[in-house]
A and B are shown apart, each in its own frame.
Chain A
Amino acid sequence: MRFERYGIGIAKGMALTLKHLFRRPITTQYPEERLVTSRRIRGNELVWDREKCTGCATCAKSCPQGTIQIATSVSAEENKYVVEKFEVDTGYCIFCGLCVEACPYEALFMGYAYERAKYRRGELVLTKEELLASDERKPSGYARPKIEVTLPRQTLLLDRDKVRK
């Protein structure tokens, strides 16, 4: 940066700030407008696939917080494990994504949500049914390249055309 005398530096600075007056503000009006989340986001909620899960509990072992509780029983007719209990306490979850990376059968995914504030601690615990995928709870592309390629390319900036609708 060069130091400019004769008030030229000040004049340049004033012209620059004046230009800013006519730029669009970069503020995101949060509850009404939201930034676009990455398609590889390690979101706030896990998404669980009941069919693919074999109840091997690798996710529970990989979790540094001990957040995931899994209990299985043996089904003799089908000759496989049945997942009796699969609970995630998102109050402890640090969203490291290690469980998703560890899962050998690609049965666990990160989600998109990031607003998990609750009034009661108990509501933070997600049960088996709450963890299933649905239209509102889509799996994100984190550590799942097959899902990622199906998602559209995106910008992380505010999608103002979408907001206006």
Chain B
Amino acid sequence: MTVFDSGFGSSIGYGQTLPPDWPGGFWFHWGVFVVIILVFVLAMVMGFIYLERRGIGRFQVRLGPNRVGPFGVLQPVADALKVLIKEDITPAKGDKLVHWLAPVVAFVPVVMIFAVVPFQGGALLADLNIGILYVVAISSVTTVGIFMAGWGSNNKYSLLGAMRQVASVVSYEIPVVLSIIGVVLLAGSLSLSQIVLAQDIPFILLQPLGFLLFFIGGCAEINRTPFDLMEADSEIVAGFHTEYSGMKFALFYLVEYAEALAISAIITTLFLGGWRGPVLPPFLWFLIKVLAVFFLIFWVRSTIPRIRVDQLMAFAWKCLLPLALINLLITGIEVLVLPEALPWTIIFLNLAIMAVLIALWSKLFRLGGGRVEV
């Protein structure tokens, strides 16, 4: 509670975009931002589903859904209505309570992530001084929900998918957190709004390797396509949500896209300068950057085929983890030794280091004992 109180006080302290006559009462602030966040998440998830289906369609030289409403805009609404009126089936020999709880356990933490994401200066639910730690901690809870889904379904494919998910999250969490620490070292704070304020130069320039590691690790954690082994339809039917139907399935679908939204928002905040930008209003900048990151995510999805399980694990432990450690070491040295150096020297130094490291690891690191030659 003390953590929350101090954080909350500082969020009103910035105040540059909240109106000057903002009542600032605890419950008032809370209520307004909870509504804003829920509306934002649901609306953006609808938009993301539409954008991704249309976008992937165009990447594959198709049209994508274009029948419901103008340009197919209402397709996610139609899907939501369809899924609402479908029958809700629980497996006869499944664990009923766990099966019922799993979607909720998976969905709630994803929405909770947005509590600390600054939409513009000071406009956030709670400016926790341990913001990014909170994000890392709370986002891992989703995995518990997904494992509950796999367990409660009493289905081998569900359990296999859930176990793959747990394995990938446990492995990829480490490089992700290590690349976050690089950003934290530069910003000198764990609070997300402080990190945004510290980015006079977006950290993607100062931390190119960290951005790459965070992007890959983040994609793996939210199971986007090169790493979507847990719902690999060609191997294990639909993974953990094989036995789900109706609104429970819809919640899992929502989790998938809300996670994509969360990772886009966090990449925006940590590496792209958050809501900061010239001319346009800050909230619009935030939205543009989030959409740009999401575009990158589904661009990767439409390009790269799924990898194998052993490749997934090897990639995390043999490639991402050492690179993340080296990145952390280099960032630490730079923060200690070159605090006064011109930013451009550091930017070019870091880009050179990234190029060298990637070339080196491509040479050193062979997946599957060299069987990948095609």
Interface on A for B, CB 8 Å cutoff? 1, 3, 5-7, 10, 13-14, 16-18, 20-21, 23, 25-27, 29
Contact = CB atoms under 8 A, between A and B. Distances in A.
Contacts of B62: 25-27
A88 B117 CA distance: 71
Interface stretch (B32-40, B53-61, B177-185, B189-197): B53-61
A17 B362 contact: no
A86 B62 CA distance: 45
Interface stretch (B77-85, B299-307, B326-334): B299-307
The B contact surface, by secondary structure, is: helix
Interface in B322-365: 358-359, 362-363
B314 to A, nearest CB: 15
A27 B63 contact: yes
B200 interface: no
A43 to B, nearest CB: 28
B374 A1 contact: yes
B358 A7 contact: yes
A5 B365 CA distance: 10
A13 B304 CA distance: 8
B299 A5 contact: no
B46 to A, nearest CB: 22
B21 interface: no
A6 B299 contact: no
B88 to A, nearest CB: 34
Contacts of B300: 14
Given A25-B63, A26-B62, A14 B359 contact: no
A134 to B, nearest CB: 34
Contacts of A16: 303
Contact of A6 (B358, B372, B373): B358
Q: Which 3 A-B pairs have the closest CB atoms?
A: A5-B362, A27-B63, A17-B303
Contact of A13 (B63, B303, B358): B303
Given A13-B304, A17-B303, 17 more contacts: A3-B373, A3-B374, A6-B359, A7-B358, A10-B303, A14-B303, A16-B303, A17-B299, A17-B302, A18-B299, A20-B58, A20-B59, A20-B61, A21-B59, A25-B57, A25-B61, A27-B63
Given A3-B373, A25-B58, A14 B299 contact: yes
A21 B358 CA distance: 28
Interface of B: 57-63, 299-300, 302-304, 358-359, 362-363, 372-374
Contacts of A7: 358, 362
B303 A21 contact: no
Contacts of A25: 57-58, 61-63
Residue among A1, A6, A10, A29 facing the most chain B CB atoms (10 A cut-off): A6
Contacts of A10: 303-304
Contacts of A13: 303-304
Nearest to A25: B63
Given A3-B374, A5-B363, A17 B358 contact: no
A6 B360 CA distance: 8
A158 B299 CA distance: 28
20 contacts: A3-B372, A3-B373, A3-B374, A6-B358, A6-B362, A7-B358, A10-B303, A14-B303, A17-B59, A17-B302, A20-B58, A20-B59, A20-B60, A21-B58, A23-B61, A25-B58, A25-B62, A26-B61, A27-B62, A27-B63
A1 B302 CA distance: 20
A10 B362 CA distance: 12
Contacts of B63: 25, 27, 29
Contacts of B359: 6
Contacts of A5: 362-363
A6 B354 CA distance: 11
Contacts of B58: 20-21, 25
Contacts of B372: 3
Nearest to B365: A5
Contacts of B304: 10, 13
Nearest to A7: B358
A91 to B, nearest CB: 31
Nearest to B55: A21
Contacts of A18: 299
A23 B63 CA distance: 11
Contacts of B303: 10, 13-14, 16-17
Nearest to A16: B303
